[in-house]
Amino acid sequence: MAKKPKITIDEHGQERNRRGEWWSGRPVFLEPVLDDPLNFPKIFKWLTGFPGFFFPWFAIYMVLIGVCYVWFTPELSRMETFQLGWMGEIFLRNLVLIWVWTGIIHLWFCGFKMQGRLKKYNANWQAKNNATFLFSDQVWDNIFWAQVGTLIWTGYECFLWWGYANGWMPYLDPAEHPILFCLLMMAIPFWRNFHFYWIHRLIHWKPLYDWVHFLHHKNVNVGPWSGLAMHPVEHLIYFSCMLIHVIVPSHPLHMMFNGFQTALGPAVSHSGFDEIVFGDELALRNDRYMHYLHHRYHNVNFGESNVPLDKWFGSLHDGTPESDEHFRKLHTERAKAMRGRQE
Ligand SMILES: [Zn+2]
Ligand SMILES: [Zn+2]
């Protein structure tokens, strides 16, 4: 069989390597709060820019939690005891959110293929007729596990609502502490990613990987539904970031934001596309190459773009050929050392 050419040009004029992968040519995006030294004008631009810290995702989650808090959350007095009625209502609301949110993102990129393979990291679409996945279909496998995740997210949310209803949760009153309220809201994405880095390293410990995390990593070629495609034990560990509100005085809106972002964010971060392209003129940078590389190589990029932990612990693959070379060498050296120990 003829060897595949090193580089091919796809139907959008993008260069793809032998594995069919496309790269934007930019190193992985790290939020400017990780710059050394800090560049304050750049941070300000990122805070207020589009896309930036607030826009669009933070702002969209704010609208969603606002709407759900006012119209789609049971009255506090009903939540004093665990009852299927109000818990079922929250589960239903969360199911609708997951289906509409992840469904729209999936339909845009993979269902209706609105931008074809333009800015898509991997040349292939999600696997079909592949026994690795439940129902031999990657998308339906991913959808199934995402429903389990929604149940576990709801479990945490109900437990915390029950705590607020019974008055034992530490509470932050926004009328009394409006600035603290806002700062805590802004801190949640950082807390989530800090938590994610550590639990992610934990589930890469071989026994846990083989039991639990392998399921998420079946998705080398990720899609929006892959984000929450996890083993239930991983869901339990992953959503445990919401328990911070048992310790830190918060408003239920903080708890909802934490949960919503943890549940809805993975659809965006696993989309597999570098940009959302709306026609010839308009594109929204998505910059999710960092986590794409984690699915590709497994032992790099355990964290996300706003925590410095991968940088500090030497696991940051920034997507450049130099980084690739560095990790390739490291891998070979480790394999050699391993063989040496076994002989
Ligand atoms: Zn992932
Ligand atoms: Zn992993």
Of 32, 144, 167, 146, the C-alpha closest to 94 is: 146
* Ligand that comes closest to the CA of residue 204: 2
Tell me the CA–centroid distance for residue 204 and ligand 2, in Å: 6
* Ligand that comes closest to the CA of residue 213: 2
Evaluate whether 6 touches 17 at the Cβ level (below 8 Å). yes
* 263-289: average pLDDT: 94
Contacts of 92 (CB under 8 A, 6+ apart): none
Tell me the CA–centroid distance for residue 170 and ligand 2, in Å: 33
3-state class (DSSP) for residue 128:
strand
pLDDT single digits (tens) 60-114: 999 999 999 999 999 999 999 999 999 999 999 999 999 999 999 999 999 999 9
H or E element that contains 275:
strand 275-278
Tell me the CA–centroid distance for residue 126 and ligand 1, in Å: 15
| Domain layout of the chain by residue ranges | 8-342
Question: Token digits for 152?
Answer: 């576990």
H or E element that contains 285:
strand 282-285
* Ligand that comes closest to the CA of residue 200: 2
Per-residue pLDDT band for 173 (boundaries 50, 70, 90) equals very high
Of 87, 83, 111, the C-alpha closest to 99 is: 111
Evaluate whether 108 touches 272 at the Cβ level (below 8 Å). no
Tell me the CA–centroid distance for residue 204 and ligand 1, in Å: 12
pLDDT value at 309 more than 90: yes
* Ligand that comes closest to the CA of residue 145: 1
**pLDDT at residue number 24:** 95
Could you give the angle at the alpha carbon of 74 between the alpha carbons of 71 and 79, nearest 5°?
A: 160
* Distance in angstroms (rounded) separating the CA atoms of residues 205 and 264: 26
**pLDDT at residue number 293:** 96
Residue type, 92: L
Question: What is the average pLDDT score of the chain?
Answer: 96
- Give the whole-number percent of the chain exceeding pLDDT 90: 93
Tell me the CA–centroid distance for residue 315 and ligand 1, in Å: 16
Per-residue pLDDT band for 1 (boundaries 50, 70, 90) equals low
User: Which residues in 130-192 belong to E strands, given as ranges?
Assistant: none
Residue with tokens 């964290």: 303
**pLDDT at residue number 339:** 85
Evaluate whether 139 touches 110 at the Cβ level (below 8 Å). yes
* 50-59: average pLDDT: 95
**pLDDT at residue number 2:** 62
Residue with tokens 């008055």: 167
Question: At 121, phi and psi to the nearest 5?
Answer: -65, -45
Per-residue pLDDT band for 118 (boundaries 50, 70, 90) equals very high
Could you give the angle at the alpha carbon of 258 between the alpha carbons of 253 and 262, nearest 5°?
A: 145
